[in-house]
């Protein structure tokens, strides 16, 4: 059995927030984002995305594994994926677990889905991503508030009796030495709740945040991405024995327009089909690549798009990439 993506769906919160028309918005290319209401949580979005994908057409008993990527789970425990298994009416013979990764998370999820299918442990894997980063962000922190949006996606990865896999050339990497460059300092077991966790501080640029808010060292994250992504492109091509011209589309993590343009130049991809569209969504973390895949395939409905290279990079610090054969994808 070989693993192929057959279907992807995504959902966005109804609440849409427009960014101000200023120099930052022009640079990032992010005009608006969708932000959860206070009562909306990651499992709500994940449920909607999964229902949109499954509908009445897919036999829910055929799903034998559910994987959820989120950094905003409903609880410390139990695993949110277990709650979703029940809400979605999936079989109790279905395995389910969460994993905690950000912008590289979708690639890691595809890697796990491939492993489950090609080792004979599963035939149909439902891979979900759901993020409500807005709940971590201080609205008065202009370094991150205008960048991130909430979303959820659902991907069906199926096994086929093929000679070649639809998911290949995985390259995964980690550099935990940079973990403090993208972090929510308080909330886990290391830094437990304290009297000062809600005290606001101001940085030199006038951005406000507490220790319960997301902190991002923007320039350090940019330097990291510009270092690892070009190397990852080369490693994937080497691993798959492909040339750049063999790839029909390059779909990277949709961080912001400026970053994507810089990466396109650094990876020497200026003359190749390359997706860069953050205008309506912003950075949706682990949801950005699957959303981009859906929109790219819709935009190229009348064209043959089989081989897509995708690379994610971000919190951890973590990165991953692969080549996706979209030949069995339902447009």
* pLDDT single digits (tens) 64-95: 999 999 999 999 999 999 999 999 999 999 99
Domain boundaries 168-325, CATH class: alpha beta
Q: Mean pLDDT throughout 241-269?
A: 97
Q: Band the pLDDT of 188: cuts 50, 70, 90.
A: confident
pLDDT recorded at residue 164: 84
Confidence class of residue 29 from pLDDT cuts 50, 70 and 90?
Answer: very high
Distance separating alpha carbons of residues 90 and 61, to the nearest angstrom: 6
Rg of the chain on CA atoms, in Å: 19
CB 131 within 8 A of CB 151: yes
Burial letters for 20-50: b for 16+ Cβ neighbours within 10 Å, e otherwise?
eeeebbeebbbbbbbbbeeebbbbbbbbbbb
And the tokens for 124? 């149909």
Average pLDDT over residues 301-325: 96
| Fold matches, 2-163 and 168-325 | yes
**Mean pLDDT value of segment 45-71:** 97
Mean pLDDT of 8-22: 96
202-217 exposure pattern, b = at least 16 Cβ within 10 A, e = fewer? eeeeebebbbbbbbbe
Phi, psi of 106 (to 5 degrees): -65, -40
Q: Residue 209 forms beta bridges with which residues? A: 201
- Residue 331 confidence (pLDDT) above 80: no
> Is the pLDDT confidence value at 186 over 90?
no
How large is the average pLDDT for residues 175-203?
A: 85
For domain 2-163, say whether CATH 3.40.50.1820 is its number.
no
Q: What is the mean pLDDT of residues 156-175?
A: 94
Confidence of residue 190 (pLDDT cuts 50, 70, 90): confident
Q: What is the 3-state secondary structure (H, E, C) of the chain?
A: CEEEEEEEEEECCCCEEECCCCHHHHHHCCCEEECCCCCCCHHHHHHHHHHHHHCCCCCHHHCCEEEEECCCCCCCCCCHHHHHHHHCCCCCCCEEEEECCCCCHHHHHHHHHHHHHHCCCCCEEEEEEEECHHHHCCCCCCCCCCCECCEEEEEEEEEECCCCCCEEEEEEEECHHHHHHEECCCCCCCCCCCCCCCCCEECCCCCEECCCCCEECHHHHHHHHHHHHHHHHHHHHHHHCCCHHHCCEEEECCCCHHHHHHHHHHCCCCCCCECCCCCCCCECHHHHHHHHHHHHHHHCCCCCCCEEEEEEEECCCEEEEEEEECCCCCC
Q: Report pLDDT for 197.
A: 75
**Share above pLDDT 90 across residues of the chain, in percent, rounded to a whole number:** 87
119-149 residue pLDDT tens? 999 999 999 999 999 999 999 999 899 999 9
- Please tell me the predicted confidence (pLDDT) of residue 198: 79
Q: Would you please indicate which residues are annotated as catalytic (active-site) residues?
A: 103, 253, 283
Question: What's the token pair of residue 173?
Answer: 């990497």
- Split at pLDDT 50, 70, 90, the class of 211 is confident
Reported as a single tens digit per residue, the pLDDT across 88-117 is 999 999 999 999 999 999 999 999 999 999
Global pTM reads 0.96
Given a cut of 90, is residue 163 above it in pLDDT?
Answer: no
Query: Tell me, what's the pLDDT at 195?
Result: 66
- Give the pair of three-digit tokens for residue 56: 């009445």
Residue that is written with structure tokens 């994610």 in the block: 312
Q: Cα torsion at 121, 288, 105, 275 (round to 10°)?
A: 90
Residue 171 has a pLDDT of 98
φ/ψ of 147, rounded to 5, equals -95, -40
Please state, rounded to an integer, the average pLDDT across all residues of the chain: 95
Delimit the domains of the chain by residue range: 2-163, 168-325
Q: What per-residue confidence (pLDDT) applies to 215?
A: 93
């Amino acid at each position: 059995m070989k693993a192929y993506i057959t279907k992807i769906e995504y959902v966005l919160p109804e609440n849409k927030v427009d960014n101000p028309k200023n120099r930052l918005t022009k640079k990032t290319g992010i005009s608006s984002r969708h932000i959860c209401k206070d009562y909306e949580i990651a499992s709500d979005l994940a449920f909607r995305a999964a229902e949109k994908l499954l509908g009445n057409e897919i036999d829910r008993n055929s799903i034998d594994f559910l994987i959820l990527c989120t950094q905003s789970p409903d609880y410390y425990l139990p695993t949110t994926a277990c709650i979703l298994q029940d809400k979605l009416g999936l079989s109790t013979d279905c395995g389910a677990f969460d994993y905690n990764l950000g912008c590289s998370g979708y690639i890691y999820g595809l890697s796990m889905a491939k492993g489950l299918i090609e080792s004979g442990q599963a035939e149909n894997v439902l891979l979900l991503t759901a993020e409500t980063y807005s709940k971590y962000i201080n609205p008065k922190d202009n370094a991150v508030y205008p960048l991130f949006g909430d979303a959820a996606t659902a991907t069906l990865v199926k096994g086929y009796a093929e000679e070649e896999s639809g998911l290949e050339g995985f390259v995964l990497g980690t550099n935990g030495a940079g973990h403090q460059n993208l972090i929510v300092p308080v909330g886990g077991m290391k830094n437990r709740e304290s009297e000062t966790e809600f005290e606001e501080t101001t940085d030199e640029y006038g951005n406000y945040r507490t220790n319960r808010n997301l902190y991002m060292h923007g320039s350090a994250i940019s330097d990291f991405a510009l270092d690892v992504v070009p190397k990852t492109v080369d490693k994937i091509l080497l691993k798959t024995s492909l040339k750049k011209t063999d790839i029909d589309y390059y779909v990277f993590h949709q961080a912001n327009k400026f970053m994507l343009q810089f990466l396109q130049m650094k990876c020497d991809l200026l003359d190749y089909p390359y997706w860069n569209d953050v205008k309506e969504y912003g950075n949706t973390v682990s949801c950005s690549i699957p959303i981009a895949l859906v929109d790219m395939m819709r935009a190229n409905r009348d064209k043959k798009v089989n081989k897509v290279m995708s690379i994610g990079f971000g919190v951890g610090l973590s990165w991953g990439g692969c080549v996706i054969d979209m030949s069995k994808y339902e447009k």
